[in-house]
Amino acid sequence: MSERNRDNSAVLTRRNERAKAQGWTGYGQQRYWQARLTDDLVRRLGVQIGGEVELERAGSLLSRDANAIVNPANVSRSPASWQVRLLVASGKVKAPKGQ
Q: Tens digit of pLDDT for each residue in 2-59?
A: 567 778 999 999 999 999 999 999 999 999 999 999 999 999 999 999 999 999 998 9
In the predicted structure, residue 97 carries a pLDDT above the cut 70 = yes
3-state secondary structure 46-95: HHHHHCCCCHHHCCCCCCHHHHHHHCCCCCCCCCCCHHHHHHHHCCCCCC
pLDDT in tens, 74-96: 988 889 999 999 999 999 999 88
pLDDT for 88 equals 96
Give the phi and the psi of residue 58 in degrees, each rounded to 5: -55, -30
